[in-house]
Amino acid sequence: MTSLSKKPPLGIKQKRQKKNPKYLAWLHDQSCVVCQRFGENQNSPTQAHHCIHDRFGTNKAVDDDAIPLCEGHHQGLWDTTKLALHKDKTKWREEYGPDHDYIEVVRSRYPK
């Protein structure tokens, strides 16, 4: 493997990062980062969202990169009062920015 490439040689899979159920449980107790940043009322429970903007490939983002979103900002199946990320990724990004921009804010709140 060269120093320029972070990928292993063809045919060798990289190790997948482990799940972090403790972090995901903590996320569910947090407020929606979008509602907080934009001064909106959170009308639905918080869900863990694994970031999808600028992700290449089909692998789900690791649990440590998940962010707390209310159901309205995440799926929008029950709370239709908000712009749901999984209903319109492009419009959501234009309105709130890329989802991965919220990762560091959330991590900074996680108790060590």
pLDDT truncated to tens, each residue of the chain (112 aa)?
445 556 656 655 555 567 899 999 999 999 999 999 999 999 999 999 998 887 655 667 788 889 999 999 999 999 999 999 999 999 999 999 999 999 999 999 998 7
Dig out the tokens for 55 from the structure. 């992700």
Domain membership of residue 57 as a residue range: 21-109
The verdict on pTM exceeding 0.85 is no
Is 50 among the domain residues?
Answer: yes
Q: Give the pLDDT score at 96.
A: 97
The pLDDT of residue 61: 74
pLDDT of residue 6: 61
* Residue 69 in domain: yes
Task: Please count the structural domains in the chain.
Answer: 1
Within 10 angstroms of residue 49's Cβ, the number of other Cβ atoms is 24
Please provide the DSSP assignment of the chain as one string.
--SS--SPPTT-PPPPPPP-HHHHHHHHTSPPHHHHHHT----S-EEEEE--TT--SSPPPPGGGEEEEEHHHHT-SS-TTS--TTT-HHHHHHHH--GGGGHHHHHHHS--
